[in-house]
Amino acid sequence: MGPNDILRMLQGCHASAILRAAVELEVFSHLSRAAADAGAVASAIGADLRGARILLDALAALGVVEVEEEKYRLSPAADSYLVPGRPAYLGDLARLYTSDYLWDALKQIPGAVRRGGTVLQRHAETPGHPFWEEFAAYSAATAGAVAESLCQLLAPWAAARMGLDVLDVACGTGLYGFTFARHQTRARVWSLDWPNVLPAAREHAERLGVLARVQFIEGDMFGVELGGPYDLIILSQVFHHYSEDRCVALLRRLAGALRADGRLAIHGPVPAQAGPAEDPFPFIFSLLMLIWTREGQAHSVSAYRRMLGATGFAPPVVHSPAGMTTRFLFADRSA
């Protein structure tokens, strides 16, 4: 690693901000129709000519736009991933990853390191935090693909079940449960989250055509009545917000709502034994949890074994789908 690598890291926030601006100004939508000069783009997005040209050149410097003879066109990657309506659209994540809430939290890394947890007055565990509305609205691009992977892995197990009652805990978009219900027509889903998050989840359920088989549970997963018993409980991007002790408390609650032959499906960043250099994402994610939660981090497989073993579950089966930075852990009740 040399100085240019360090500089690219330091300048990473610039690239994020440029992409977010282009998404908000609908630059990629306009250029998806045809190559255009800066004047045409400025007119289409209601911008100053000089401002549009500078933004377009910055996008060209990032490699998402190409320029030839003063006309700009999308790169193949931008055409696939940054044009709204494309099947693999990722542009909404620009709004999520540069959310003002996360942006402000990143400035507090030194204080969080000194304390060993968040120094924010309003953080990820604050009931009704508006960030979770943004998460439910803008994370569908990645949640949908992960949900499809989850359904493929669960398909053999689901085929052997008599019933398929599903609880999706801290559901966010709700796409994990809804996608499962779309694939498994016998499935009924209970989606649990804070009241301010569930309207976005309801929209996804309606879009996928499963709303008639969905019920919503408003409240905090640590205190609200869970109902049940369920055949499957899905927990995506949940446990890394809490300490092992807090996770054990949640698992005890969930064990009481799961059928004796039911299954937990856990999804999230789980560090590989290889270490940070070979598997960087979970370790960087732990730093985000340090500034955004009181005691959270990406838990290792051995930590999950401890937590699940303490609450009556067998050791988890770990799945690492190709191309994903996160992992699935399936845990059944101990015999």
- Which one, of 131, 65, 93, 95, lies nearest residue 293 by Cα? 131
Distances 258 to 145, 255, 263, 281 between C-alpha atoms, Å: 26, 5, 7, 31
Taking only the tens place, the pLDDT of each residue in 120-143 is: 999 999 988 999 999 998 898 889
Share of the chain above pLDDT 90, in %: 81
What are the structure tokens assigned to 84, written together?
């709204």
Taking only the tens place, the pLDDT of each residue in 16-68 is: 999 999 999 999 999 999 999 999 999 999 999 999 999 999 999 999 999 99
- Which one, of 187, 285, 171, 189, lies nearest residue 236 by Cα? 171
Taking only the tens place, the pLDDT of each residue in 212-238 is: 999 999 999 999 999 989 999 999 999
Judged against a pLDDT cut of 80, whether residue 148 lies above it is answered with: yes
- Could you tell me which residues come within 8 angstroms of residue 308 by beta carbon, excluding any fewer than 6 positions away? 251, 264, 314, 315, 316, 331
Cβ 240 vs Cβ 299: under 8 Å: yes
Taking only the tens place, the pLDDT of each residue in 171-219 is: 999 999 999 999 999 999 999 999 999 999 999 999 999 999 999 999 9
Distance CA 45, CA 22 (A): 10
Band (pLDDT 50/70/90 cuts) for residue 272 is confident
Cα–chain-centroid distance for residue 165?
A: 23
Judged against a pLDDT cut of 90, whether residue 14 lies above it is answered with: yes
Cβ 150 vs Cβ 176: under 8 Å: yes
Average pLDDT, rounded, for the chain: 94
Task: Map out the domains of the chain as residue ranges.
Answer: 3-97, 131-332
Provide the pLDDT for residue 277.
Answer: 87
pTM value is 0.90
Residue whose token pair is 């509305």: 133
Distance CA 99, CA 130 (A): 11
Q: Does domain 3-97 have CATH number 2.60.120.260?
A: no
- Could you tell me which residues come within 8 angstroms of residue 255 by beta carbon, excluding any fewer than 6 positions away? 311, 312, 313, 333
Torsion-angle region of 70 (φ positive above 0: left; ψ -120 to 50: alpha; else: beta): left
**CATH classification code of 131-332:** 3.40.50.150
Provide the pLDDT for residue 335.
Answer: 66
Provide the pLDDT for residue 45.
Answer: 95
Provide the pLDDT for residue 2.
Answer: 86
